[in-house]
Structure 1
Amino acid sequence: MIYPNLLFPRPPKNEIELLKRAYELTGKSLLSLAKNFNLSIPTNLKHAKGWIGMLLELYLGANATSKPQQDFSHLGIELKSIPVNTERKPLETTFICMVPLIKNNNITWENSYLRYKLKRVLWIPVEGNHSLELAKRRIGQPLLWSPNKEENQKLHQDWEELMEIIALGKIDFLNSRYGEWLQIRPKAANSKALTPAIGENGEIIMTLPRGFYLRKNFTELLLKSYF
């Protein structure tokens, strides 16, 4: 079932309805989905990185607002599209949320925004090879996932290591090599988009905003484990 043009789906009532909608997308091209909403397709994703996610949100009925919450907040589910190659291997890391660089003394893994975002995720693979025209790229089989005990423990360990470095004021020493499954990388529109952080002597410094990303080795393992 594809919704009529400009008829935006209501939010799904429950997980079953959401997953049913996601399965209906399997094998469909981005062109067919874009036509459903009378949307033009960008020539590339360089200046439209969130376009595929936006398209999926429209079809699936995501209800997130500008507030920091999950895409399907009434269901406690986050939506993540993931570009993959012909072997279903992820082609890039997955951004999850911004890193709290100040006022983070009382944040624990259990009450962190990162864990909140990862509690339950609807993963939707999308063909991502750059040689394939964007309009012809197809949507893959979805996966509704929550971290098991081992996954939660490893993500927790990575989070603790990364947040300790930030708490010690060593953010400028932090690079993408830290973390087994998680990594922290700059996330800013340009080099002038600075934000406050804690320096080595406890002083406020200005630095680039940082984001939490899931490494490709984790999402590849995830897709292999469940498919």
Structure 2
Amino acid sequence: MKRVDDIAGLTLGELAERYQFKSPEHLLKEKGWPGQLLEYVLGASAGSKPVPDFEHLGIELKSLPIGYNGKPLETTYVSVVPLTNLTGATWQESTVKKKLNHVLWLPVLAERELQPVERTIGCGFLWQPNALQQALLKRDWEEQIELIALGRVDEISGHLGQVMQIRPKAANSKVTTDAIGPNGKLIKTLPRGFYLKTNFTQEILAQEFKL
């Protein structure tokens, strides 16, 4: 948290310069650059493994792009959605639960007009879901995983889920993966990801900063 406090108020450009970390001109092809920079500076070690970013601490790092009004600008990616081998899958053992059990939120002022290097890091904070938030996440996970297990993956849209939705997560429509089809046989579909809805992350910010 000392490291987190030390970088509050810096722009991503200033931070990259301080750590000699290469900065892109735009994020079209390097959308993950802000997250990679913050992971590097704060010492996150998990990479793309299905475990929290700070593996030895059990803490996940989530940067949260916010607007001038302090509200989240986009949904927050959590993890890949399993589309096969769902027999016996439980919320308790899910990657989503492991990743959201303890989160370091790092708000970043990221209005569209700001270049990546001009975006400013806010005050980071540690968060754990309270009983109600945990129950909402669990329900959204279970309801949508059940649809996938029943071969109804194509019925899932971003409208489902009160606080967490499932959406396609692929570079383009040519990227496909196996999923359970309507008759139990495997079909090809787009990879999916779990995303926290902005109303949920807005509530987390409001709770922390007493907004």
TM-score normalised over the length of structure 1: 0.89
The corresponding residue for 2:27 is 45
User: Match for 1:150: what amino acid?
Assistant: L
The reply to whether residue 186 of structure 1 matches residue 153 of structure 2 is: no
- 2-structure distance, mates of 1:67, 1:91: 26
Greater shift in the superposed pair: 77-86 or 129-138: 129-138
Greater shift in the superposed pair: 215-224 or 43-52: 43-52
Q: Give the secondary structure class of the aligned counterpart of 2:121.
A: coil
Q: 1:73 aligns with which of 55, 77, 97?
A: 55
Q: Does the aligned pair in 1 maintain the 2:66–2:111 contact within 8 Å?
A: yes
The reply to whether residue 110 of structure 1 matches residue 95 of structure 2 is: no
The reply to whether residue 160 of structure 1 matches residue 142 of structure 2 is: yes
The corresponding residue for 2:124 is 142
- 2-structure distance, mates of 1:65, 1:156: 25
The reply to whether residue 96 of structure 1 matches residue 78 of structure 2 is: yes
Greater shift in the superposed pair: 128-137 or 167-176: 128-137
Q: Which runs of 5+ in 1 are unaligned?
A: 1-18
Q: Which runs of 5+ in 2 are unaligned?
A: none
User: Match for 2:10: what amino acid?
Assistant: K
The corresponding residue for 1:8 is none
Q: Give the secondary structure class of the aligned counterpart of 2:133.
A: helix
The corresponding residue for 1:210 is 192
Shift of 1:65: 4.1
Alignment of 1:3-42 (within 5 A): 19-42=1-24
Shift of 1:146: 0.7
The corresponding residue for 2:67 is 85
User: Match for 2:37: what amino acid?
Assistant: L
Shift of 1:79: 0.3
- 2-structure distance, mates of 1:172, 1:102: 14
User: Match for 1:157: what amino acid?
Assistant: R
Shift of 1:40: 3.1
Greater shift in the superposed pair: 55-64 or 176-185: 55-64
Q: Which runs of 4+ in 1 moved over 3 A?
A: none
Greater shift in the superposed pair: 64-73 or 121-130: 64-73
Shift of 1:111: 0.8
Q: Does the aligned pair in 1 maintain the 2:50–2:79 contact within 8 Å?
A: no
CA shift digits 1:101-157 (9 cap, x unpaired): 000111111111110110000000001101122222110001101111010001111
The reply to whether residue 56 of structure 1 matches residue 38 of structure 2 is: yes
CA shift digits 1:82-106 (9 cap, x unpaired): 1000121000000000000000111
The reply to whether residue 175 of structure 1 matches residue 157 of structure 2 is: yes
User: Match for 2:191: what amino acid?
Assistant: P
Shift of 1:67: 3.1
